[in-house]
Amino acid sequence: MMNDPRRRLLEFVADRLETGAALLRGYGRRFPGPSRTLVLGGVRSGKSRHAEQLMSRYPHVTYVASGLPPSDDDPEWAARIAAHRARRPAHWRTVETADLTSALRESTTPVLIDCLGTWLSRVLDEVGAWHQQDGWQQRVDERLLAFVDAWRQATVPVVAVSNEVGSGVVPHTASGRIFRDVLGALNTEVASHSESVRLVVAGRALTLT
């Protein structure tokens, strides 16, 4: 017959295992579905709205706005940002930053990034890509690799919106071609580390396999 100390030990272990299983089941209910999703689409395709719908299941969301802040110099851009703000749930936490890597690594709630295209524009400007300053390629590679590494290691569900810019005509400016080529490479790399990739066309989302 098993002695009392050993039986109590086994009961203690069994109790802790059941507690751990319950926690895992609770985590699954809180964060269901794919942990990393890339949403692609053209201008006014509905990609941002689709991404917001994907995140609506979570009680708490960190919305990372990566574009330039609104200003009086660009009323059209300010109006776009205002429309996005008005559409988001009031309880979502908004972070306006170009440091996507830190925002992703430090978040403890599901993250929605909108969008990689506007973020890349800021990065290319900061590293001197538009004027092709010496070493800009290495500097942009370092920024993009750091973000992809954070994306790959994300511990919370994360959705990123990005522009699909490879379906139109070849840009007639060098800066336009740089943006198209670098963003295409970034989208491909992010997609390779995603459980789900969606392409939004005219408000309809297609799942890419």
pLDDT in tens, the chain (209 residues): 445 655 554 555 445 545 444 433 443 344 444 489 999 999 889 999 999 999 999 999 999 998 666 556 666 655 666 666 667 778 899 999 999 999 999 999 999 999 999 999 999 999 999 999 999 999 999 999 999 999 999 999 999 999 998 887 888 899 999 999 999 999 999 999 999 999 999 999 999 98
60 is catalytic: no
CATH architecture of 34-208: 3-Layer(aba) Sandwich (3.40)
| DSSP calls for the chain | ---HHHHHHHHHHHHHHHHHHHHHHHHHHHS-S-SEEEEEE-TTSSHHHHHHHHHTTSS--EEEE-SPPP-TT-HHHHHHHHHHHHHS-TTSEEEE-S-HHHHHHH-SS-EEEE-HHHHHHHHHHHTTTTTT-TTHHHHHHHHHHHHHHHHHT-SS-EEEEEE--TTSPPPSSHHHHHHHHHHHHHHHHHHHT-SEEEEEETTEEEEE-
Positions of CATH 3.40.50.300 in the chain: 34-208
- Spot the catalytic one: 60, 84, 91, 131: 84
What is the pTM assigned to this prediction? 0.78
